Each structure stands twice: as C-alpha cells, then as structure tokens.
Amino acid sequence: IPQKPWFYDLREVWKGYPIQSMLPSQYWYYMIELSFYWSLLFSIASDVKRKDFKEQIIHHVATIILISFSWFANYVRAGTLIMALHDSSDYLLESAKMFNYAGWRNTCNNIFIVFAAVFIITRLVILPFWIMHCTVFYPLDLYPPFFGYYFFNFMMVVLQSLHIFWAYLIIRMAQKFITGKVVEDERSDREETDNSEEEEEVAKNGPLSNGHPVLNNNHRKTD
C-alpha cells in the first residue's frame, strides 16, 4: 500500500475510474480479507457470546458486503486503503490477546494501550476525515452519484458507528489499565464472569452444590 500513489494523494483513488487495472497484490489482499471475515462470521456462533454479539454480527456482515461490493464496483483502491487502515490496529489487539493468554499481563497491558491509541487515531480520525471524505466528495467531481455511491457510503457510516461504540469500550478498559485496576473485558456479561469464577472455584475445591463446595463426608460442612 505505501508504494501506491493513492496512499499519498487520495484523489489518485479515482484517477481513471471506472477503468482501473487490477494488480495481483490487490487481488490476493481482497481474497484473503474476504475469507478471513467469512471465517469470523461462521465461527462467532461457537464463540463466547458477549454484550456486543449483535454488533459483531453487523460488523462482519457489513464488512463482507463492503469488500464484495467494492470488488464488483471496482472501488478496489479505496477498498485496499480501508482494509489496511483496519488491519493496522487489529494485529495489535491480537498480540495483546496472545500475551494475555500467556500470562504476560504487563506486556499485554502496554500493547493494549498502544492498540487503543492506534484504534482511535485510525478509526475515529483518519477513516472519517480522510478516507470517508475521499469516498463521499471526490467521486462527485468525476460522475453523478448513483445507487452504488449511496450504498457504499451508507455501509461506511454503519462501520463508523460501530467504531464509535467500540472506542467507548476500549477507552474504559484503557483507563483501568492506566490506573492499575483489575481489568475484565468490558464486553463481558455478568453471567459470563460469574461462570468463570465458578469454574475457577471448581478447579480449586471440586464440584459445587448450590453454590458451595461439595465436601468430603469426613469433614464438617461450614458456611
């Protein structure tokens, strides 16, 4: 992406549109991203259902529609910029998760702070004020708006709304990281947390009965 002229001059995104050549790198980038989001959509049903389950479904469906439509409408240059912008923060989040699972909490916290900053800059600043400005205003200099123009930008507004929602949750978590408070995923339901605590209790004390450990008959049960 940094080697392309439209990375530095967004008006180059529409130069020569709708007749623009397809580069092999663009083709494979689209195929990999589309496959990835289809896999997320299929796997989310078996994943832990958090508070933002519906938002996740909307996000994956909207992303698949945007990738597919931009391919058919030859919005490929704009599409690659949008995907690269999203990927710039996603790999940081996945890295933070890996270190969290490995028990490296300090490393996880530090990476999450960087992720939060990159997420806010890319999705709340660059995306609406550069990329969406490019897709909303620049095409009007070349051709009159048509259904695809309105549809593409409407789906971009849907994504941006989700970004604002997740940015709120991310900022809340980042504040807890900075203040040193014990952090749990802001998307977690209370029931999910209770179940996790109960599973930990089972691991320590054995099976539970009515919320209390089932004790050996040789021991007197206490409250």
Answer yes or no: is 52 within a domain. Answer: yes
Average pLDDT over residues 13-29: 90
How many separate domains does the chain show? 1
Average pLDDT over residues 162-179: 85
Answer yes or no: is 211 within a domain. Answer: no
Answer yes or no: is 212 within a domain. Answer: no
Give just the sign of the alpha carbon dihedral 89, 90, 96, 99: negative
- Give the Cα separation of 189 and 54 in Å (integer): 14
Task: Reply yes or no on whether the pLDDT at 212 is more than 70.
Answer: no
Answer yes or no: is 3 within a domain. Answer: no
Answer yes or no: is 207 within a domain. Answer: no
Answer yes or no: is 137 within a domain. Answer: yes
Answer yes or no: is 11 within a domain. Answer: no
Answer yes or no: is 200 within a domain. Answer: no
Print the domain residue range for 143. Answer: 24-179
**Model confidence over 26-76: pLDDT tens digits?**
999 999 999 999 998 888 877 777 777 888 888 999 999 999 999 999 999
- pTM here is 0.76
Q: Are 72 and 172 spatial neighbours (Cβ–Cβ below 8 Å)?
A: no
